Amino acid sequence: MEFHRLIGERRSLRAFSQRPVEPEKIERMLEAARWSPSCANRQPWRFVVVGHDAPSRAAVEEALDPGNAWAKRAPALIVAGGRREDGAVVGSRDYFLLDTGMALMSLLYRAVDQGLLVHPMAGWKEGPLRAALGLPEDFTPAAVVAVGYVGKSGDLDEATRKKDEKPRARKSLGEVAFRSLWGEPFGATLPARPAKVYETELQLRFGDTDAMGHVNNAKVVTYLEFGRVRFFADVMGAERVEDIRFILAEVSCRYRIPILLHDRVFVRMHITDVHRSSFRFRCDLFDPRDGRVFVEAETVQVMYDYATGRPVPVDADFLAKAREYICG
Ligand SMILES: Cc1cc2nc3c(=O)[nH]c(=O)nc-3n(C[C@H](O)[C@H](O)[C@H](O)COP(=O)(O)O)c2cc1C
């Protein structure tokens, strides 16, 4: 999976299915963690993997806070932490927990890359966790990570389900990143990952279906094109097709469920990435009545000068309008 997509797909959701996790997937996660950077290459991170049938499993579950009871369904729990003396100390700065955190992040992304759901937790009691796993006294457990596959949110109790349904929130870039001096907001120019996603309905036609009785896969690209044209009209104010100065350069589609004529199909799309002369849309075709996603797609469009036949840099007006729409 491409990295920008991994970042978008990682979510700390709570509904786990009981489908077991393949041991090799866990191994790849640990391997990703092993290759993380660490201060002076001290590699202070340590992980304890606790599967469903591990003798220590019941005691680890017992150590979880009641608010994290949902994690008991996860087939694997991984405890991550480190020892101060295994890490580097530079002046007054201890690096073992920073290194462990970085290794944990690699582990999480490798999990998502393999289609897994991972959820790190700080909500557990340290004494019982130490006792359950026989952790050395000088070892600092930092997080317990629930690992498994996404389950049905309907299986969660209401309070937990509500947590999963809460919209994701992040501080703005200017609050967390400064330019030149502390407190001077970084001042982003690119569109951020959106709080708002563009949506428009598609009209299916009888002629879109093929001999298999569902919408032909090739038609899906036309649907994406239609979404793009509507986006440029509604968001960018393009009144005519000639006002759209981008040309389609790349499309990739993952067909998840066949689209049938009686389905209601919307396309939702947002900009995930802007480069010098191109930008990327992430798109889903979905049925708004039940949330089923038929197709996940990505398109890359290049800003193009039709007169010279050459790509040109993405203009500031486009970026400003995209930003205004996404953040507004
Ligand atoms: C160190 C750490 C501890 C966390 N502890 C808990 C926890 O005990 N229970 C829980 O439900 N979520 C926990 N979370 C998940 C965060 O709430 C979550 O990462 C945050 O809300 C952002 O959501 P996202 O991960 O889906 O982007 C923890 C996350 C981290 C990194």
What are the tens digits of pLDDT across the range 234-279? 988 888 888 888 999 999 999 999 999 999 999 999 888 788 899 9
Asked if pLDDT for residue 153 goes beyond 80, the answer is yes
* 19 lies in the same domain as 162: yes
282 and 226 together in one domain: yes
Q: Is 188 part of a structural domain of the chain? A: no
Q: Which atom of ligand 1 lies nearest, measured to the CA of 70? A: 11
Looking up tokens 């469920």 gives 257
CATH of the domain at 322: 3.10.129.10
Q: 135: which 2 tokens?
A: 């952790």
Who contacts 91 (Cβ-Cβ below 8 Å, separation ≥6)? Answer: none
Answer yes or no: is pLDDT of 192 > 70.
no
Residue 26 CA to ligand 1 center (angstroms) comes to 20
324 C-alpha to ligand 1 centroid (Å): 29
- On whether residue 46 sits in a domain, the answer given is yes
Distance 126 CA to ligand 1 centre (A): 17
Q: Pocket residues for ligand 1 (CB within 6 Å)?
A: 11-12, 68, 120-123, 143, 168
For the cut 60, the answer to whether the pLDDT of residue 143 exceeds it is yes
One domain, residues 69 and 136: yes
Same domain as 131, residue 25: yes
Lowest mean pLDDT among 5-9, 117-121, 246-250: 5-9
Is residue 19 domain-resident? yes
pLDDT digits (tens, 9 = 90+) for 26-76: 999 999 999 999 999 999 999 999 999 999 999 999 999 999 999 999 999
Number of domains present in the structure of the chain: 2
Domain that includes residue 147, residue range: 3-166
Evaluate whether residue 146 is within a structural domain. yes
* Closest residue CA from atom 22 of ligand 1: 12
Instruction: Write down the pTM of the prediction.
Output: 0.73
List the CATH number of the domain containing 127: 3.40.109.10
**Could you report the per-residue pLDDT of 96-115, keeping only the tens digit for each?**
999 999 999 999 999 999 99
